[in-house]
Amino acid sequence: METQYRQFFRLLSDDTRLRSLLLIRQEGELCVCELVHALGVIQPKVSRHLAALRDSGVVADRRSGQWIYYRIHPDLPDWARQVIDATGSAAATRKPFADDLAVLAAMPNRPNAARCA
């Protein structure tokens, strides 16, 4: 699905969606539980924002057992991927993004063991 410029930037304007997307970009793929842990928000909120990103073609998901994993959509236009990459590079050492990465890195029972156990 082609992502329109206006819709794309509207999606990125939400803090939860932007933080989730930058974590996914950094890690390659994350499950909802990892995002909940890193962001410190409730699962329904994270899932709702991921659904908006998925429905707009920004992220793709896959199910493995009871877990759903998200990654940057492989068909995302180059311009959109460049925006995400530039934003992620600029934000990597700044709050709240650096804190999100640190919290995620310290998450107990993180993959590749039993996810979200």
Residue 115, domain member (yes or no) = no
Residue 72, domain member (yes or no) = yes
Predicted TM-score (pTM) of this structure: 0.90
Closest to 21 in 3D by CA, of 72, 81, 82: 72
- Per-residue pLDDT tens, the chain, 117 aa: give them: 455 889 999 999 999 999 999 999 999 999 999 999 999 999 999 999 999 999 999 999 999 888 899 999 999 999 999 999 999 999 989 999 999 999 999 999 876 544 454
Structural domain total, the chain: 1
Residue 116, domain member (yes or no) = no
Residue 112, domain member (yes or no) = no
Q: Report phi then psi at 74, rounded to 5.
A: -65, -20
pLDDT in tens, 48-65: 999 999 999 999 999 988
Q: Report phi then psi at 96, rounded to 5.
A: -90, 0
Residue 110, domain member (yes or no) = no
Structural domain span for residue 10: 5-105
Q: Report phi then psi at 63, rounded to 5.
A: -105, 140
Residue 77, domain member (yes or no) = yes
Q: For residue 87, give the DSSP letter.
A: H
Residue 25, domain member (yes or no) = yes
